[in-house]
Chain A
Amino acid sequence: MDPLRRSPSPCSPQASSPESPPCEMLGYVGIEAVLDQLKIKAMKMGFEFNIMVVGQSGLGKSTMVNTLFKSKMWKSTPPGLGGPTPQTLQLHSVTHVIEENGVKLKLTVTDTPGFGDQINNDKCWDPILGYINEKYEQYLQEELLITRQRHIPDSRVHCCVYFVPPTGHCLRPLDIEFLQRLCRTVNVVPVIARADSLTIEEREAFRRRIQHNLKTHSIEVYPQKCFDEDVNDRILNSRIRDRIPFAVVGADREHMVNGRCVLGRKTKWGIIEVENMAHCEFPLLRDLLIRSHLQDLKDITHNVHYENYRVIRLNQSHVLPRGPGWVNLAPAPPCQPSSPGLTKVCRWAQDNSDEDS
């Protein structure tokens, strides 16, 4: 993404520029027209968004994607009828272009059937990490070319939605392992899947326990606390952080309720309306992912996760003394997950650590 199109990431407002005196303008100049210019250009170029859904089979991932984007991304696989359970973890991507009010969005959804389905799930996160790193690698290679494209196609995973099965107890070891490894490489948003099997109180208790688990294992899910730009952001994001993980229900069928046509699941004991806040927290997830934080997800992926990856890659193959100069990029090893012992390079941690209580 070229830096002019990409909006800046959360960072300290002081840019690294020399002191420039503020000037009073005595009349209207028209500088604010640049915002419209930016908008026009952005709409002409179109947007890209790549989302990955991870979770065991039967948790409603495909349905959730269909509900989120209100279209048939792919047919939701009924359990048992989709063929024999894949012996290995397979990642399956599908890309669509959707348009709304003149805004074109190229959406790529990556599904992970077979995750956590084996008897021995050791290292089941490796293919996923490998895929994510492969996308970073592709972008890095494009960026390092001498003759670059005008607009480098962005296939990096911007957001990973992790589906937690609604056991009602706490996070399982598999969940914890996976989340720990992934939250360093990509923005992870955990959700409680099939939340209609839990009552409201059970939901809340489950949520608190999950939050406690996340804290204990220092798993930083999106929105990460250390990237809050200013007070407004912090307030907004704390509200979101309070409700993570969202308890969601997915549905792609419409039913009639009180004369209105709503998306929902029809059961013998009632209709669960997906977009009703009293029933489930799907609207919160949708708002977070699409309506308010989509650009932020992309920015953090580009400015933090991708940069981290780049630093690691360049340091690996850099045998000579470092310094500004051309990079010495060794051929990429086949499946290179980021080493688990590495702490995330959190640039602004030192600015905000004293504000972290």
Chain B
Amino acid sequence: MAVAVGRPSNEELRNLSLSGHVGFDSLPDQLVNKSTSQGFCFNILCVGETGIGKSTLMDTLFNTKFESDPATHNEPGVRLKARSYELQESNVRLKLTIVDTVGFGDQINKDDSYKPIVEYIDAQFEAYLQEELKIKRSLFNYHDTRIHACLYFIAPTGHSLKSLDLVTMKKLDSKVNIIPIIAKADTIAKNELHKFKSKIMSELVSNGVQIYQFPTDEETVAEINATMSVHLPFAVVGSTEEVKIGNKMAKARQYPWGVVQVENENHCDFVKLREMLIRVNMEDLREQTHTRHYELYRRCKLEEMGFKDTDPDSKPFSLQETYEAKRNEFLGELQKKEEEMRQMFVMRVKEKEAELKEAEKELHEKFDLLKRTHQEEKKKVEDKKKELEEEVNSFQKKKAAAQLLQSQAQQSGAQQTKKDKDKKKNSRRSELEILKIQVCKENREGTHYVLVLVI
């Protein structure tokens, strides 16, 4: 069945005039109504040294007390702490996440200070990308944690940016919308402030740091954005305490020499910051994060993985081919690794076997040696035994001879000879005793048998 579709070309869009009220001018309202029912997400990252006033400024901006404990200066490294809060104003629900850099600028070696921040921002982009690439995904339900605005707190030295600031901002400018602000601005005098601001801006420009540009392409906001941009970076003072000024209470900081009012435009730029950040450009910040920073991250990540839209001949790449190729490559690598591991395993086994064989041989040798020594000793003992037997035999012979003599001498009836014989016997006996002891001693060192001489 043939299907012919008349495709409208983009250049031929005709503007049609309506002859009556159709009613689609309610479209923006329809859109807005839907958005309010879901609520908005806004995530702010505060980068600045410990004690520079990040938490206080957040409290002042949103007119509330966010629970947090002040950080110590002993942190071993920079870590990011994220807290989420739900704010509601009339019918708008805002899910606000404030991410704090704890320990920034406290270390002695600050080379790696920016790394945890960049990793955190990338991790949020990665999470969103993963969700977007899932097959069964739920993007409309997704709690967007990507950082929409980064407030960079510059210490009020009055001179220029610190090198840590420059390095960190340079690393962050392509990943997030940076809004630099001068913190604790009540420590700088007015004339110094102007010089400080222009010094900072010129340094940023000369180092190529791209801070967030307030949009000037829509007539409604162009004017206010343009006027405000002149005052960048905003010199802010934060305070949650209220001081009586005139006949009302206002947020201010009380000094012996005067009161710094937070919401007085002559005293500091807090009002300007609030205008720009919340009342005028919140939506634009979110849009920039999504359409510029996130798309950049996504493109880099996918290109890193080896995917392209078109090959050098600008024919659209089949993603399947790329994927197949990558997969084969990966499997090949796996196989190679497996082979290597197997070979190593075989080699190790062989080595171990050789070692064990060596040990076995040694043991055998030892055993042989021991056996030999034992046999030698046995032979020695046997020789001794023979000697002793010979001595016993000779003794027996001597005894027999002596008895003969005795019987001969008995006729002479000389007790003397008997005594002599007894003496001889006794001495002989004692000799035998000694021999016995000796033989026993020797036999104790030998093994099996005990020669017992009994007379």
A322 to B137, CA, bound (A): 13
Contact call A3/B139, Cβ cutoff below 8 A: yes
Given contacts A40-B218, A95-B8, A127-B1, 8 further A-B pairs with CB under 8 A are: A15-B38, A26-B63, A31-B92, A35-B36, A127-B3, A287-B23, A295-B30, A315-B135
With beta carbons under 8 angstroms apart, the residue of A98, A123, A126, A150 that contacts B16 is: A98
Judge whether B210 is part of the interface by a CB distance below 8 angstroms: no
Contact call A131/B1, Cβ cutoff below 8 A: no
A123: shortest Cβ distance to chain B, in Å? 7
Contact call B307/A29, Cβ cutoff below 8 A: no
Q: A4-B286, A22-B88, A71-B18 are in contact. Are A47 and B138 (CB under 8 A)?
A: no
Q: A69-B18, A71-B16, A322-B135 are in contact. Are A103 and B305 (CB under 8 A)?
A: no
With beta carbons under 8 angstroms apart, the residue of A31, A43, A335 that contacts B28 is: A43
A286 to B19, CA, bound (A): 15
Contact call B38/A8, Cβ cutoff below 8 A: yes
User: Mind listing 18 A-B residue pairs with CB under 8 Å?
Assistant: A3-B290, A7-B31, A8-B37, A17-B84, A25-B62, A26-B63, A28-B63, A31-B87, A37-B282, A38-B35, A40-B218, A70-B19, A92-B6, A97-B13, A148-B298, A290-B24, A295-B34, A331-B318
Contact call B3/A88, Cβ cutoff below 8 A: yes
Judge whether A340 is part of the interface by a CB distance below 8 angstroms: no
Q: A3-B139, A21-B85, A70-B20 are in contact. Are A103 and B25 (CB under 8 A)?
A: yes
Contact call A23/B64, Cβ cutoff below 8 A: yes
Q: Of residues 1 to 57 in A, which have CB atoms within 8 Å of B's CB atoms? A: 2-9, 11-13, 15-18, 20-35, 37-44, 47, 49
Q: A4-B287, A20-B84 are in contact. Are A91 and B61 (CB under 8 A)?
A: no
* Residues on the A chain within 8 Å of B40, using CB: 31, 34
Judge whether B319 is part of the interface by a CB distance below 8 angstroms: yes
Judge whether A215 is part of the interface by a CB distance below 8 angstroms: no
The interface centre, meaning the residue of B18, B221, B323 with most chain A CB atoms within 10 A of its CB, is B323
Judge whether A85 is part of the interface by a CB distance below 8 angstroms: no
Judge whether B303 is part of the interface by a CB distance below 8 angstroms: yes
A47 to B86, CA, bound (A): 31
* Residues on the A chain within 8 Å of B305, using CB: 326
A18 to B66, CA, bound (A): 17
Q: Of residues 17 to 67 in B, which have CB atoms within 8 Å of A's CB atoms? A: 17-40, 61-64, 66
Judge whether A175 is part of the interface by a CB distance below 8 angstroms: no
Q: A100-B21, A329-B320 are in contact. Are A32 and B92 (CB under 8 A)?
A: yes
B18: shortest Cβ distance to chain A, in Å? 5
Pick out which of these stretches binds chain A: B140-148, B177-185, B418-426, B438-446.
B140-148
With beta carbons under 8 angstroms apart, the residue of A91, A130, A146, A314 that contacts B309 is: A146
Contact call B143/A16, Cβ cutoff below 8 A: yes
Mask of B287-313 contacts with A, CB within 8 angstroms, 1/0: 100110001001100110101110000
Judge whether B280 is part of the interface by a CB distance below 8 angstroms: yes
With beta carbons under 8 angstroms apart, the residue of A31, A33, A93, A329 that contacts B319 is: A329
A259 to B219, CA, bound (A): 43
* Residues on the A chain within 8 Å of B74, using CB: none
Closest CB pairs A-B (n = 8)? A7-B34, A17-B143, A20-B84, A37-B283, A8-B38, A295-B30, A95-B8, A30-B279
Judge whether B278 is part of the interface by a CB distance below 8 angstroms: yes
* Residues on the B chain within 8 Å of A16, using CB: 138, 141-143
B235: shortest Cβ distance to chain A, in Å? 20
With beta carbons under 8 angstroms apart, the residue of A47, A92, A147 that contacts B27 is: A47
Q: Of residues 160 to 217 in A, which have CB atoms within 8 Å of B's CB atoms? A: none
Q: Of residues 74 to 93 in B, which have CB atoms within 8 Å of A's CB atoms? A: 84-92
Mask of A119-143 contacts with B, CB within 8 angstroms, 1/0: 0000110110011000000000000
* Residues on the B chain within 8 Å of A68, using CB: 22
Contact call A25/B323, Cβ cutoff below 8 A: no
Contact call A105/B27, Cβ cutoff below 8 A: yes
With beta carbons under 8 angstroms apart, the residue of B22, B34, B308 that contacts A146 is: B308
Complex: chain B residue closest to A91, CB-CB:
B5
User: What secondary structure prevails in chain B residues at the interface with A?
Assistant: mixed
Q: A95-B8, A98-B15 are in contact. Are A103 and B302 (CB under 8 A)?
A: no
Mask of B1-15 contacts with A, CB within 8 angstroms, 1/0: 111111110001111
Contact call B3/A42, Cβ cutoff below 8 A: no
Judge whether B228 is part of the interface by a CB distance below 8 angstroms: no
Complex: chain B residue closest to A134, CB-CB:
B5
Complex: chain A residue closest to B130, CB-CB:
A324
Q: A70-B22, A103-B27 are in contact. Are A318 and B64 (CB under 8 A)?
A: no
A8 to B284, CA, bound (A): 18
Contact call A4/B143, Cβ cutoff below 8 A: no
With beta carbons under 8 angstroms apart, the residue of A24, A69, A328 that contacts B64 is: A24
A161: shortest Cβ distance to chain B, in Å? 16
Interface bracket on A = 35 or more
Mask of A317-350 contacts with B, CB within 8 angstroms, 1/0: 1101010111111110001000000000001000
Q: A3-B139, A71-B16 are in contact. Are A37 and B281 (CB under 8 A)?
A: yes
Judge whether B94 is part of the interface by a CB distance below 8 angstroms: yes
B279: shortest Cβ distance to chain A, in Å? 4
Judge whether B68 is part of the interface by a CB distance below 8 angstroms: no
Q: Of residues 258 to 317 in A, which have CB atoms within 8 Å of B's CB atoms? A: 263, 286-287, 290-296, 299, 303, 307, 310-311, 314-315, 317
Q: A23-B66, A93-B7, A229-B37 are in contact. Are A2 and B287 (CB under 8 A)?
A: yes
A285: shortest Cβ distance to chain B, in Å? 12
Mask of B71-115 contacts with A, CB within 8 angstroms, 1/0: 000000000000011111111101101000000000000000000
Judge whether A75 is part of the interface by a CB distance below 8 angstroms: no
Contact call B22/A100, Cβ cutoff below 8 A: yes
Complex: chain A residue closest to B284, CB-CB:
A37
Q: Of residues 211 to 231 in A, which have CB atoms within 8 Å of B's CB atoms? A: 229-230
Contact call A146/B25, Cβ cutoff below 8 A: no
Judge whether B327 is part of the interface by a CB distance below 8 angstroms: yes
Complex: chain B residue closest to A135, CB-CB:
B5
Q: A29-B62, A31-B87 are in contact. Are A148 and B295 (CB under 8 A)?
A: yes
Complex: chain B residue closest to A103, CB-CB:
B25
Judge whether A108 is part of the interface by a CB distance below 8 angstroms: yes
A134: shortest Cβ distance to chain B, in Å? 8
Q: A3-B140, A40-B220 are in contact. Are A29 and B61 (CB under 8 A)?
A: yes
* Residues on the A chain within 8 Å of B361, using CB: none
* Residues on the B chain within 8 Å of A295, using CB: 27, 30-31, 34
Complex: chain B residue closest to A286, CB-CB:
B23
Judge whether B134 is part of the interface by a CB distance below 8 angstroms: yes
Q: A33-B278, A34-B92 are in contact. Are A146 and B137 (CB under 8 A)?
A: no
Contact call B32/A290, Cβ cutoff below 8 A: no
With beta carbons under 8 angstroms apart, the residue of A3, A31, A92, A327 that contacts B133 is: A327
B49: shortest Cβ distance to chain A, in Å? 26
Contact call A98/B18, Cβ cutoff below 8 A: yes
With beta carbons under 8 angstroms apart, the residue of B22, B38, B144 that contacts A69 is: B22
Contact call A27/B63, Cβ cutoff below 8 A: yes
* Residues on the A chain within 8 Å of B2, using CB: 88
